Amino acid sequence: MEIAGSVALVTGTNRGIGRRFAEQLVERGAAKVYATARRPELVDVPGVETLRLDITDPSSIAAAAAVAQDVTLLVNNAGISTHTSLLTSPMEDIRREMDTHFYGTLQVIRAFAPILARTGAGVSGATAIVDVHSALSWFVYPGANGYAAAKAAEWSMTNGVRMELQEQGTSVQGLHLGAADTDIMAGYEGPMIDPADVARQSLDGVERDAMEVLADDWSRFVKAALAKDPSELYGQPLPI
């Protein structure tokens, strides 16, 4: 699909990668950009239409879908990180990870899939979805195992949704990255990718109908390691 002239909705646009998606969509000539957040008053991107959306709240999702009936591109960016251990952290924190990244993202897709079917009118590539994943979809790291489990579930969900939406002509992209220079990575001292570069690569991928975008060396390294014995991945220093 072409970004120019599209009508996009981006979740979690008050900061980080979501904000960069909204900015670049405007710059690339999207006809309209719904910039959503739980607190839309915090969104300060020029040229967008702000909309309240809490992806863990079904009524909030339904209300947003009722307004944004012209969407042709959906970017599922909203996420959290509770820095959980699977064995010692509170179960409610682990459930928050899953409720956000898996169930929340899926609920948004289910709400907007019929809209994308109508706005795309069955033309292949006329509508698209981007799901922002992580290199942690494919490996685990101490202090982020709840997040990793939720992102692994989201990755599998994205692959399933892609197959189910194929007939209506909606393409689905999984976007993977390691560490980006955003608030969620505050305090991290390793190499980080510019979130604007993440958004740019993803939108370029939308225009060429890419099923998957690996935005940095970290995500490419981990994806390649999946074909090897796990001891090779977990028995050496990771590029993080």
- 175 neighbors 202 (Cβ within 8 angstroms): yes
Report pLDDT for 238.
58
- pLDDT grade, residue 112 (50/70/90)? very high
- pLDDT grade, residue 181 (50/70/90)? low
Report pLDDT for 218.
85
Distance (Å, rounded) from C-alpha 109 to C-alpha 113?
A: 6
Phi, psi of 63 (to 5 degrees): -65, -40
Q: Which amino acid is at 190?
A: G
- Check pLDDT > 80 for residue 129: yes
- Check pLDDT > 70 for residue 186: no
Distance of CA 164 to the CA centre of its chain: 18
For residue 56, how many other CB atoms are within 10 A of its CB? 15
What contacts 227, CB < 8 A, 6 or more positions away?
none
Report pLDDT for 101.
97
- pLDDT grade, residue 144 (50/70/90)? confident
25-64 pLDDT tens trace: 999 999 999 999 999 999 999 999 999 999 999 999 999 9
- 34 neighbors 8 (Cβ within 8 angstroms): yes
189-235 pLDDT tens trace: 656 778 899 999 999 999 999 999 999 988 998 899 899 888 878 76
pTM here is 0.92
- 33 neighbors 43 (Cβ within 8 angstroms): no
For residue 10, how many other CB atoms are within 10 A of its CB? 33
